[in-house]
Amino acid sequence: MRLAYKAFNADLTCTMGRGTFQYEPGIWYEEKEANCAKNGFHCASNPLDCMNYYGSWGDHQFWIVEIDGDIDEDGTDTKISATKIRLFRRLNLQEFLTHAISYIYEHPALEMNQRVKTANTEMTDTDKFVIVRNFKPRAMASKTGQYIGLIKENPANRNEIEAAGLFYVDGISTKPNIWYDVEGREC
C-alpha cells in the first residue's frame, strides 16, 4: 500500500472511463485492471499534478488516498492508476501546498508542474497561491488570504534545493503588496 493524491468534484465524484463515479471516505474501491490510459483509479504522486485535471482550488476537493493492488505509472506527469483506492484524508489549502512543496523538495530533478513559476511573481486578486522556484525566489501577494510558496535552488546545481518556505498572507506578519523571500523577509 502507498499514499498518493487525488482531486474530486465538490461532491466527491470523478469522471472514469465509464462515466461518473461517486466516492465516499474510508471505503476501499476496486477495479480489475489499472492502466493510466484507460482504466483503474487515477491519482498522482505530486499533489500539484492533480490540478492538471481538476484545476481550481475552490471548486474541487483534494485528498490523500491510499492505493494498492496493481499500480501503473505511464510517465505522464506523476499520474498513477491503481486497482484499489481509499480516500484517506481531505487536505485544506495550506496542507495541500505543504505536501506540494515537500514533494518538490524531495524530488528536485523531476520536471516541474506548470503551476510552479520560475520567474518571481506578483499575484493577482484571483490567485489562491503561488509557488516560485529559482535561485533567488520572491513573490508578492495582492490581498490577504493568499499563500506564497518559495523554493530556493542551489545556484551551482538547480537539482539541489537549499531552502523552502510557505507563508500565509494574514496582513500582519505577511502583508499584501510587499515582496517576500524564501526566509519570509521583506525584500
Q: d(Cα 65, Cα 24) in Å, to the nearest integer?
A: 12
Q: Strands of 29-171 (E only): list them.
A: 29-30, 41-44, 60-73, 79-90, 116-117, 121-122, 129-134, 139-140, 147-154, 157-168
Across 107-140, b (16+ Cβ under 10 Å) vs e yields ebeeebbeebbeebbebeeebebbbbbbeebbbb
For the chain, residues with pLDDT lower than 70 are: 16-18
pLDDT digits (tens, 9 = 90+) for 30-57: 999 998 888 899 999 999 999 988 877 8
Per-residue pLDDT, 17? 64
pLDDT at 75: 77
Structural domain boundaries of the chain?
Answer: 2-90, 93-180
Which pLDDT tens digit goes with each residue over 149-175? 999 999 999 999 999 999 999 999 999
